[in-house]
Amino acid sequence: MRRKSKFTTLNLLGFYKVFLGLAIIEGLLALWFLFRVASDSENAFFAGYSLPRIGIGFVILFILAIFFFLLLDSLRSQRILSYFASKLDGILSDAVKLTIIKTTLLIVLTTSIITILFFLFPPLKRLHPFLQNGYIYASIRDRIGGLIGWVFLICLKILMLYAISGKKPNQTLSTPVCLMIVSWAIVIFVVLDFALWSLILKKVTLDILQGPGVKILILSVWFSLWVLLSRQKERAKQISLLFTCISIWLCVFLISLQFAQYLGRWYSP
């Protein structure tokens, strides 16, 4: 058993070092990709680049400095690594916190890879109802495409590091609680997506909130009601079947409604 634990520790430490090293290299490439194309003349603030671009560049440099410092620590004293390991042990043991972290990483991972597919295959942007402006799409691709790829790779490596660690929470969450956490995390992401596109397009993109945002909010409220009514074990058993059936119907109905909205077909023959 001791040999196995040492072997796992060595694997985790080695993967941690590789993770930081690759993240630094990928961050440098993302930084180069960000500044390889100058901003439009009307948006230029300093050295031909816009203020938001310069701000993003400073954020990348700050993150790279942290990664470089952590890499040096992992090669020397490992004091910071030990400190973070003790803190993460408590966080990852909490099922609620772990579910929130994993859900956030999966949402960012999925969004990043979908965006990358839009970059690699431009015709696919027709499937995105909020990317109808071809100029804005090309501008985003030329400016922050590398940054999105970097975020995708970081999230992927974090999930791989967690999988290799084999860490499990001390308790398990019920299905309604998991659904409630995931749905509210998606709602928060949709709100942030709305704010981001409103900033990029320089107009209020209410379509994002009126489209999937409202439907996911309905699911979030429904799952929250389920959790609220399931606090008592006796009541939870009584309403479990009812809420499960209604939840399945509600999910199918809202997904069908969303596709009907995308396709512009509200009525079937």
**pLDDT tens, 43-75?**
676 777 777 778 888 988 999 999 999 999 888
**Closest among 221, 201, 217 to 209, alpha carbons compared:** 217
- Cα separations (Å) of 171 from 95, 101, 191, 253? 6, 16, 30, 33
- Tell me, what's the pLDDT at 140? 61
Query: Residue range 175-181: average pLDDT?
Result: 89
**Closest among 188, 180, 213 to 99, alpha carbons compared:** 180
Where is pLDDT greater, at 4 or 99? 99
- Tell me, what's the pLDDT at 221? 92
For residue 121, give the 3-state DSSP assignment.
Answer: coil
Question: Distance between CA 241 and CA 245 in Å, rounded?
Answer: 6
Question: Distance between CA 19 and CA 154 in Å, rounded?
Answer: 8
- Tell me, what's the pLDDT at 130? 47
- Tell me, what's the pLDDT at 69? 92
Q: What is the pLDDT of residues 224-252, one digit of tens each?
A: 998 888 887 777 777 888 888 999 999 89
Structure tokens at 181: 């956490």
**Closest among 99, 260, 88 to 184, alpha carbons compared:** 99
Give the predicted TM-score (pTM) of the model: 0.74
The mean predicted confidence, pLDDT, of the chain is 78
Q: Look at residue 10 and tell me whether its pLDDT is greater than 50.
A: no
**Closest among 187, 188, 193 to 206, alpha carbons compared:** 193
**Crossing angle for the helix pair 95-120 and 79-93, nearest 10 degrees?**
100
From 62-71, 93-102, 202-211, the region with the lowest mean pLDDT = 202-211
